[in-house]
Structure 1
């Protein structure tokens, strides 16, 4: 281990760069669907050694060398973890295939700026002892928080998700949330670096031993927290989730509207595993962007839905909607919405998406003119793209408790999915991951939505066009699910919520205190070493 560490520390040139990218790429194996937890160690332990080898003859050059290593590590991590984004460029290959390299390599190149900053920040607190593990925890966690918030935010595959997949380990999210798991994941993954570079036997044992003990404690806490029996369910609620498994190119074509509607109606009415059809459901749920037309302006389709629904049954469906145009406007504003429809075909209410996907659902205004000048547009076929809702609001559905509605990747943002005001009793997520086919993307998306249930102490109901559709209880247990690529319906009761977890009440305080401790410990040790070019 010591020999390996020294080889990494002393590496230079292209070998050093290749090591950094390889270490980052290995880290992606810790993410869904692989969930290979030792990949954290194989990724973050070399990162410590590479930062050890970033010492130069001046402070500025040292930080620059650390930032370069961080960028290369991040580039490897994001390419290996997000390569599946390229599938979206092939849905309409004649228009977007040329841009595939920009999606597969361009976005990772931009995202890698965050770990570049994180590595440089860590290196500014570096000392030649165990405190440098805390320095990396601080710097890399700060960069992950920034990635989740700056420029609309993109916390996809946050490092904490590595600990947020196993049922026992994910229970710690109820205490510290996703970013608290990030702190733990970085510390656990980086601590074994001291096996090869510890200054003495005690240091070589203490940090890795502490990391192992934390992992065991997390698993023990999770095993203790999860009740042995299923949760009670909400009375008089029977859900039916419909997963049509439609390819994305079919959903784009308005000429398929009748075929799509027939498929939805036929599937929704089909006999489930209990032999009962739509008449047994109190609420039928369809996925995001269910129609290649405006449902609220199509009375014939609303009449078909009314004919499907038994008395007292309601449909909850994703659907684009358009406001009436203002004076002087040719068309109104479009919104990516969830709509609630009763058994008479009346739309009772809507939730409009707040957190839109840049370039997917809209083009940032400062780039709009340039993109249109070269004949490009966003992926969705909406004139001008969607408009975001101004604020998150509770969705009211007759017969259901208050609903925290999320559309597509809104569910990946920790702490941002609940509306202001009274606490809702369930999280609803409708999505369409057909863009990405049978790749790791849909598995990653589901895992992140599932973790929100644990953080918030609320059940998750998720309807996805191609999967993964599921009902998840507040402990992250999958009550029922439909696999990726399956077509069918899922009938389920609705689990009850639990008391707001510790994280909901005190999580930000715990995270802030933890990061301050890491900062102060790293700064204190660094200040004693200022005379040494570590």
Structure 2
């Protein structure tokens, strides 16, 4: 067998570095994989022809490995109708993973062009990757899935730093510590190596110790808090969208809604797009589903239902919305008390950036509606009759740091909790739903607010303001049932919810300052 040429060994090592960093994320949780950042840093420093181009390509390969682990679930929506769309699945993964990896390639280019020698380069590396990950979360519609700072399991001690610096700030910390391990292999004195190891160890102690202290002072759940029932019907995506199954789907949700529990729920939650129909038809006068809903709910109960709804524009055009509708049962009957229309829509899932072209190649059917969804107005918390104020996050919206805080600032008041309804059936039965759960947990930590999370097939959970979901209040993949949980208390506004990206911006400026020292000293 011929030996692998050195250039290919470097490329394979770069790919392995990204794979290792991706596997450090939940649900795999192989935290030694964080050393993939240290390996990548070393590879970016390897000499050779065309150093900038090589650095870009090596970082791109690492990103390709990272996102291959993180977004392989993108193939699942195409397998719902595998006969018609299955051929698109591998192309979707290649385009998604390879496209997102371009941001890592840019980080490698920045690192190679501006990083100094010595210990400062680890801080520049942290800044370069955090900066490009911030771009990934904002360019076009943004897609901040599995940020490096979200490697730590939400609710763990290290994850609590997100209350101070958010997911982007924690990305900087994570990459600085993990990438800094590369400094231990520098040809320096033993004393310098001991100092480097001590600094890295001290950073980990602060990360774990500070988080442990915060969790040790966690507020308990009040026994008089509102009781929330989260419904998970576990209906396969392929079966749900068959028109003849509407009655079966509805009946399943109603049986779970009305099943006996320890106490009467104050709030019942159905997930995103629970029923394969627009809610306007379900609630129209004379609809059999209207009276069945009314009969199934008790007076004073509120149903928070993820639903598709239809409206008409000023020119009479039909507009479709992915919505959350609050329905309250009163002695007089069932009445809508609030509606939230999803603001951030999923490209190629809820709207087609290349609408006519997408329709020609068959993408349109992924939406399961006659036309694209329309984005709702800029988000604000909802004041729902009889309930604490709530900020809805529909599926994709849970990816975005500071989304709820921006909505609260827009409205002038802060919600008491966050409600995340999501159709994670699109992610299949692998790691995607668990990753989404972990990401949602970071929004709880950042805002200091509990999150009630309902999905049709898993993972459904009640998450406290520290990002923790308790085993007894979680329904995993492929399970049918309900989660009955008291709403955990909210905390005072966290530093991150008040300051936003100011602290991460300071971190980036610090990294830039470390890079500028090298340039300033050059003759």
| Coarse TM-score class (shorter-chain normalised) | over 0.9
Query: Could you say which residue in structure 1 is the equivalent of 2:439?
Result: 448
**Counterpart-to-counterpart distance in 2, 1:89 and 1:72:** 25
User: Quick one: which of 56, 59, 62 aligns to 1:67?
Assistant: 56
**Counterpart-to-counterpart distance in 2, 1:447 and 1:85:** 17
Query: Could you say which residue in structure 2 is the equivalent of 1:297?
Result: 281
Contact kept, 8 Å, 1:54 with 1:65, in 2: the verdict is no
Residue 509 of structure 1 and its aligned partner are, at CA, apart by 2.3
Query: Could you say which residue in structure 2 is the equivalent of 1:386?
Result: 373
| Bigger mean CA deviation after superposition, 388-397 or 443-452 | 388-397
**Counterpart-to-counterpart distance in 2, 1:399 and 1:348:** 10
Distance 1:234 1:416, change over 3 A: farther
**Counterpart-to-counterpart distance in 1, 2:72 and 2:381:** 35
Query: Could you say which residue in structure 2 is the equivalent of 1:467?
Result: 458
What are structure 2's unaligned runs of at least 5 residues? none
Q: Is 1:240 aligned to 2:233, yes or no?
A: no
Contact kept, 8 Å, 1:129 with 1:199, in 2: the verdict is no
Residue 477 of structure 1 and its aligned partner are, at CA, apart by 2.5
Query: Could you say which residue in structure 1 is the equivalent of 2:425?
Result: 434
Q: Is 1:282 aligned to 2:257, yes or no?
A: no
**Counterpart-to-counterpart distance in 1, 2:142 and 2:94:** 18
Query: Could you say which residue in structure 2 is the equivalent of 1:341?
Result: 327
User: Quick one: which of 240, 254, 275 aligns to 1:265?
Assistant: 254
Residue 270 of structure 1 and its aligned partner are, at CA, apart by 1.4
User: Quick one: which of 149, 159, 162 aligns to 1:170?
Assistant: 159
**Counterpart-to-counterpart distance in 2, 1:394 and 1:162:** 29
Query: Could you say which residue in structure 2 is the equivalent of 1:53?
Result: 46
**Counterpart-to-counterpart distance in 1, 2:475 and 2:309:** 28
Query: Could you say which residue in structure 2 is the equivalent of 1:318?
Result: 306
**Counterpart-to-counterpart distance in 1, 2:358 and 2:342:** 24
Q: Secondary structure at the match of 1:345?
A: strand
Distance 1:520 1:228, change over 3 A: closer
**Counterpart-to-counterpart distance in 2, 1:123 and 1:85:** 32
CA deviation profile, 1:155-209 (whole Å, cap 9, x unmatched)? 1011001135351111111111101110111011111112222433233233333
Query: Could you say which residue in structure 2 is the equivalent of 1:7?
Result: none
Query: Could you say which residue in structure 1 is the equivalent of 2:296?
Result: 308
Distance 1:15 1:303, change over 3 A: same
Query: Could you say which residue in structure 1 is the equivalent of 2:501?
Result: 508
Residue 444 of structure 1 and its aligned partner are, at CA, apart by 0.4
Query: Could you say which residue in structure 1 is the equivalent of 2:24?
Result: 30
Distance 1:11 1:497, change over 3 A: farther
**Counterpart-to-counterpart distance in 1, 2:139 and 2:204:** 30
User: Quick one: which of 464, 467, 471 aligns to 1:476?
Assistant: 467
What are structure 1's unaligned runs of at least 5 residues? 1-9
Distance 1:450 1:106, change over 3 A: same
CA deviation profile, 1:267-289 (whole Å, cap 9, x unmatched)? 111123x3x5xxx1111111110
Residue 339 of structure 1 and its aligned partner are, at CA, apart by 0.3
User: Quick one: which of 129, 144, 149 aligns to 2:118?
Assistant: 129
Residue 40 of structure 1 and its aligned partner are, at CA, apart by 0.6
TM-score (norm 2): 0.93
**Counterpart-to-counterpart distance in 2, 1:234 and 1:409:** 32
**Counterpart-to-counterpart distance in 1, 2:476 and 2:19:** 27
Distance 1:113 1:229, change over 3 A: closer
CA deviation profile, 1:219-268 (whole Å, cap 9, x unmatched)? 11111112456524384621111110111111211211100111011111
Distance 1:306 1:504, change over 3 A: same
How many residues align structurally? Answer: 507
Contact kept, 8 Å, 1:130 with 1:198, in 2: the verdict is no
Q: Secondary structure at the match of 2:312?
A: coil
Contact kept, 8 Å, 2:18 with 2:63, in 1: the verdict is yes
Query: Could you say which residue in structure 2 is the equivalent of 1:411?
Result: 398
Query: Could you say which residue in structure 2 is the equivalent of 1:6?
Result: none
Contact kept, 8 Å, 2:44 with 2:112, in 1: the verdict is yes
Distance 1:142 1:236, change over 3 A: closer
Contact kept, 8 Å, 1:129 with 1:198, in 2: the verdict is no
| Bigger mean CA deviation after superposition, 371-380 or 180-189 | 371-380
TM-score (norm 1): 0.91
